[in-house]
């Protein structure tokens, strides 16, 4: 059963068509990748799913429920979480606080319960802190918990962003170029994290990535965009041998 169903979405910025009639599905507990040359409309596509942009036309359904027209925070509450192409952490906050912010929508505390310091709120807060710590442990960041996010190394910041996204307990997590700027060793480690976390946290993964080794290695399904249109889709083997994809993106070198 598909967790995300995108049907014929189109996005126009004035005269520029960033996405036209793109359809796709993400199966539950699967890893799906969106690839394509720069400017193909991949990030716009992500931004429409997460509610940052509203599609000009088309339908997006999460678990058979339309999420078109919802604000990003509501989309996050429905169960879609994301990371950003250019890292967007809460720089001045500590590592663990970054993850705690991710838990925002699962905490029931309200103004009154905070001001009066209800025992329920206290307990909930402690539970959340422990859970955040466990997430950090999973990503190997637990020793840095009190460090400011901006002081982390690039690779650690990427990981923290994924940890924060997972803290929202998403049904679907969108990773926008998670391996950008990483060295081969870090990329390899990240590949393993992405492969594992789907199972560990019961979440489907949709990712944009230029690193073909990573994409071909972990995705079960690949969608190729070019000039805002879907030119191919299929499993890694099909994509690798697709003539259109080779011309538009991979180049003939990748095949040989």
3-state secondary structure of 44: helix
184-201 and 154-167 are packed helices; what angle lies between their axes, rounded to 10 degrees?
A: 10
C-alpha distance across the termini of the chain, in Å: 36
String of DSSP letters for 236-254: HHHHHH-HHHIIIII-GGG
- Position 256 contacts another protein (CB under 8 A): no
- Position 123 contacts another protein (CB under 8 A): no
- Position 255 contacts another protein (CB under 8 A): no
- Position 101 contacts another protein (CB under 8 A): yes
Smallest gap from residue 168 Cβ to another protein (A): 6
String of DSSP letters for 76-134: HHHTEEE--SS----TTSBHHHHHHHHTGGG----HHHHHTT-HHHHHHHHHHHHHHHH
Smallest gap from residue 41 Cβ to another protein (A): 19
3-state secondary structure of 200: helix
Binding segment for another protein (CB under 8 A), chosen from 11-19, 34-42, 134-142, 243-251, is 134-142
Smallest gap from residue 227 Cβ to another protein (A): 26
Smallest gap from residue 240 Cβ to another protein (A): 9
Site string for another protein, 146-175 (x = CB under 8 A): x-x---------------x--xx-------
Site for another protein (CB under 8 A): which residue of 134, 183, 202, 247? 134
- Cα(234)–Cα(220) distance, rounded to whole angstroms? 8
Measured from the CB atom, is 50 or 203 closer to another protein? 50
- Position 96 contacts another protein (CB under 8 A): yes
List Cβ<8 Å contacts ≥24 apart for 228-236: 228/11, 228/17, 228/18, 228/19, 228/20, 228/22, 228/40, 228/41, 228/44, 229/19, 229/20, 229/21, 229/22, 230/21, 230/22, 230/23, 230/24, 233/24
What's the length of the chain? Answer: 256
Site for another protein (CB under 8 A): which residue of 50, 203, 219, 242? 50
HSE of 207 in the Cβ direction (CA atoms, 13 Å)?
A: 28
Binding segment for another protein (CB under 8 A), chosen from 11-19, 35-43, 75-83, 219-227, is 75-83
Smallest gap from residue 89 Cβ to another protein (A): 7
Q: Which residues bind another protein (CB under 8 A)?
A: 50, 52, 71-74, 76-77, 81-82, 84, 88-94, 96-97, 100-102, 104-105, 107, 109, 111, 114-115, 117, 121, 125, 129-130, 132-134, 137-138, 140, 142-143, 145-146, 148, 164, 167-168, 188-189, 191-193, 195-196, 200, 213, 216-217, 236
């Amino acid at each position: 059963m598909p967790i995300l169903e995108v049907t014929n979405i189109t996005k126009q910025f004035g005269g520029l068509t960033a996405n036209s009639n793109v359809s796709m599905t993400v199966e539950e507990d699967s890893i799906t990748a969106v690839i394509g040359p720069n400017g193909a409309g991949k990030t716009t596509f992500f931004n429409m799913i997460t509610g940052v942009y509203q599609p000009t036309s088309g339908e997006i359904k999460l678990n058979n429920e339309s999420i078109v027209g919802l604000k990003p925070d509501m989309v996050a509450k429905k169960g879609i979480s994301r990371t950003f192409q250019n890292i967007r952490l809460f720089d001045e906050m500590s590592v663990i606080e970054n993850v705690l912010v991710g838990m925002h929508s699962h905490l029931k505390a309200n103004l009154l319960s905070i001001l009066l310091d209800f025992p329920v709120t206290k307990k909930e807060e402690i539970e959340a802190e422990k859970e955040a710590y466990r997430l950090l442990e999973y990503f190997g960041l637990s020793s840095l918990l009190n460090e400011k996010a901006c002081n982390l190394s690039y690779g650690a910041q990427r990981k923290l962003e994924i940890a924060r996204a997972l803290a929202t307990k998403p049904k679907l997590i969108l990773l926008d170029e998670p391996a950008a700027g990483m060295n081969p060793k870090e990329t390899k480690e990240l590949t393993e994290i992405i492969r594992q976390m789907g199972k560990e946290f019961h979440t489907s993964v949709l990712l944009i990535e230029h690193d073909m080794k990573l994409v071909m290695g972990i995705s079960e399904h690949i969608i190729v965009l070019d000039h805002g249109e879907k030119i191919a889709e299929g499993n890694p083997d099909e994509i690798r041998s697709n003539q259109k994809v080779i011309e538009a993106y991979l180049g003939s070198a990748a095949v040989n």
